[in-house]
Chain A
Amino acid sequence: MSLAKITQVKALALAVPGDDIDTDRIIPARFLRCVTFDGLGEHAFRDERTGPDGKERPHPMNSAQAARIAAAKQGVMVVGFNFGCGSSREHAPQSLWRYGFTAFVGGSFAEIFFGNSTTLGVPCLTLSKEDLAECDAFVRANPDVEVTVDVAQLTVSAGAKTWKASIAASARDGLVNGKWDPIADLLEGADSVAKTAGGLAYVAGK
């Protein structure tokens, strides 16, 4: 299986502030009632964007900037700490990715969200608290300036600014080498898998 090498994402950015933004907020459970991921994009952050009365609420996802990202199918979301906590539902990164976000920059990411995003080829890079605040402010003040998320160099840059970023080494490796979906590697190990399985009594029902 050949996959694109994701060394860099260069796109417009949207700041979605707040810590501990959970997957129920990213994609409310009622949109999990489906047998495919198609069409999830339009429901990203649905209940944050639309009030119970059906009217739009002030939310970054309702901005013109968000619409540009949706149209371009390319964008960087700048988030806070512990982004994507809560459930393991892949529907969360799937909905943001289908909406148009192709990279995340934040203070920290919930583990399962991070793994699910990486497997989609969507890098999640981490900045220090101070740098994140600066990046967030920059993005808000300069909506027309593209942000470069450089997975190979481990930097996030915009305009004249460059911030040092980090990401788990295995995720970086997978992205830049076009191996972010592990299925090919996992399939290759079939013989070793059989050997491991053979050593586990319970796999044979014992």
Chain B
Amino acid sequence: MAKTLFQKVWEAHTVRKLPNGQTQLFIGTHLIHEVTSPQAFGMLRDLGLKVKYPQRTFATVDHIVPTNELKEPYSDPIAQEMIEALRKNTKDYGIRFFDTTTGTQGIVHMVGPEQGITQPGTTIACGDSHTATHGAFGAIAFGIGTTQVRDVLATQTLALSPLKVRRIEVNGKLAPGVYAKDVILHIIRVLGVNGGIGYAYEYAGTTFDGFSLEERMTVCNMSIEGGARCGYVNPDQKTFDYIKGKPYAPKAADWDAAVARWASFASDAGCQYDDVKVFKAEDIRPTVTWGITPGQAVFIDEKMPALETLNAADRQTAEDAYAHMKLAPDTPIKGTKVDVCFLGSCTNGRISDLREVAKYLKGRKVSPSVKAIVVPGSQLTAIQAVHEGLDKIYIEAGFEWRGAGCSMCLAMNPDKLVGDQLCASSSNRNFKGRQGSQTGRTVLMSPLMVAAAAITGQVTDAREVFKV
């Protein structure tokens, strides 16, 4: 019978059926970070349990690390305490830790792919909802709570129920100035922030075939914003090429067998999907959010919705959103004043993002009214960027060049909005208070749109600013 990748991976990792009807699923790869793991280690100690497969858990530190202070002890004692707790836990249990001193630290969803830990046909869990990022490699990857982190540490398994699979096909070529970020913002806008509940999203079509792995990661990353617990792209030659030579990639003698195995996990032709949605790449234009959920989005040249055009439920959230954002219905979003620009995060903090923006930024200057920061998602990305001289381009343009971490994506470190500042952000969440100030405002967009906002001091169309 023809099967989806999801079904094949699920079957290969099924341990047994549990008495309550759920599946005990083997988690081949477990990623941990400093925020959601310490309590899990605490529970493990309370129960007197050990880590069952320490070599299948990998740790890094990302959320709380300051990105403008590289020496320890950090001036923030809580950040110091959290990083030290992770050092102790990984040492006590023999877990590999990509620490700040190793040159390999970074946002957990960047470290996995960079190290070749993220592989097709595997199951990956992490106490972070953007774990779906790893689905770009054809893995079934999802976020879990802290008690489940405990479960994986203690047993390398989870109690789960299978998901339905929705194939989201995007075909055609994106116009210049339109990016993977616009594709996922558009998908979420159309299908809704809870449209994906109960589903795994399979992203497919010629647009995805043409995407690099980094572009695929940007899309899979935001599956959760569409309500889907995980999202994936079927593995292909690009996937294998990306993994080849990475530290944890299968070595020479095992390589061919691994590729054959990986390829066999791709969804079969003629398999059954629970749902299919089809989009045309040509229909997608640069997209920005105007509200407080990622689904509240418009094309840059559109007006924000008039309240009358919305159904009752959407209208209530929209009223709340307009009040928080201090924006008016039925007016253009273009021209909205911007105070802060943030380029980074596990959605768009990769080398391809930094390169693409740098290409256009040369010789331009950040508006004096804007504070702009660029935060490479990982140390390896930062090192590569410096090697290519990208840091100089950003610094000359007036961006602050930072160390690796999550930074202003969720503002658990010192990078925070102040008061009702409006931030043009390449991250993934525009929830109230997300960027560290209760009244702070977030407008999500692609990296190049963030750069255009930095230069003009406004939410604007990057295609015009940079003559794309």
What residues make up the interface of A, taking CB atoms closer than 8 Å to B?
18-20, 22, 24-25, 28-30, 32-37, 47, 51-52, 81-82, 85-91, 93-94, 108, 110-112, 115-116, 119-120, 168-170, 173-174, 177, 179, 181-183, 185-187, 189-190, 192-193, 195-197, 199-203, 205-206
A47 in contact with B433 (CB, 8 Å): yes
Residue of A nearest to B420 (CB): A52
Whether A37 contacts B35 in the complex (CB less than 8 A), given A86-B431, A90-B145, A116-B147, comes out as: no
Mark B398-436 against chain A: 1 for CB-CB distance below 8 A, else 0.
Answer: 000000000000111000000100000000010111101
The residue among B26, B317, B320, B412 with the most chain A CB atoms within 10 A of its own CB is: B26
B47 in contact with A203 (CB, 8 Å): no
Minimum CB–CB distance for A32 against chain B, Å: 5
Whether A85 contacts B18 in the complex (CB less than 8 A), given A35-B81, A186-B157, comes out as: no
Minimum CB–CB distance for A28 against chain B, Å: 5
A173 in contact with B143 (CB, 8 Å): no
- In the bound assembly, the distance between CA atoms of A1 and B436 in angstroms comes to 40
Minimum CB–CB distance for B157 against chain A, Å: 5
A196 in contact with B82 (CB, 8 Å): no
Q: Count how many chain B residues have C-beta atoms less than 8 Å from C-beta atoms of the other chain.
A: 85
B26 in contact with A112 (CB, 8 Å): no
- In the bound assembly, the distance between CA atoms of A153 and B194 in angstroms comes to 28
Q: Which 8 A-B pairs have the closest CB atoms?
A: A88-B143, A90-B145, A116-B145, A182-B159, A35-B38, A90-B146, A88-B129, A173-B20
Residues of B within 8 A of A22 (CB): 293, 429, 431
Residues of A within 8 A of B198 (CB): 111
- In the bound assembly, the distance between CA atoms of A35 and B34 in angstroms comes to 8
- In the bound assembly, the distance between CA atoms of A108 and B197 in angstroms comes to 10
Whether A196 contacts B432 in the complex (CB less than 8 A), given A18-B320, A110-B197, A174-B20, comes out as: no
B272 at the interface (CB under 8 A from A): no
| 16 A–B pairs (Cβ distance < 8 Å), ordered by A | A19-B317, A22-B431, A29-B433, A36-B38, A89-B146, A90-B36, A111-B229, A120-B147, A173-B21, A185-B20, A186-B158, A193-B24, A196-B15, A200-B122, A202-B29, A203-B53
B64 at the interface (CB under 8 A from A): yes
What residues make up the interface of B, taking CB atoms closer than 8 Å to A?
12-16, 18-22, 24, 26, 28-29, 35-36, 38-39, 42, 47, 49, 52-53, 55-56, 63-64, 78-79, 81-82, 85, 119, 121-122, 127-129, 131, 143-148, 150-151, 154-159, 161, 193-194, 197-198, 224, 227, 229, 248, 250, 254, 257-258, 261, 293, 313, 316-317, 320, 410-412, 419, 429, 431-434, 436-439
B429 in contact with A33 (CB, 8 Å): no
Residues of B within 8 A of A112 (CB): 129, 143-145, 229
Residues of A within 8 A of B313 (CB): 19, 81
Whether A85 contacts B147 in the complex (CB less than 8 A), given A179-B20, A185-B18, A187-B154, comes out as: no
B128 in contact with A85 (CB, 8 Å): no
Minimum CB–CB distance for B205 against chain A, Å: 26
Contact residue among A36, A93, A203 (Cβ-Cβ distance under 8 Å from B28)? A203
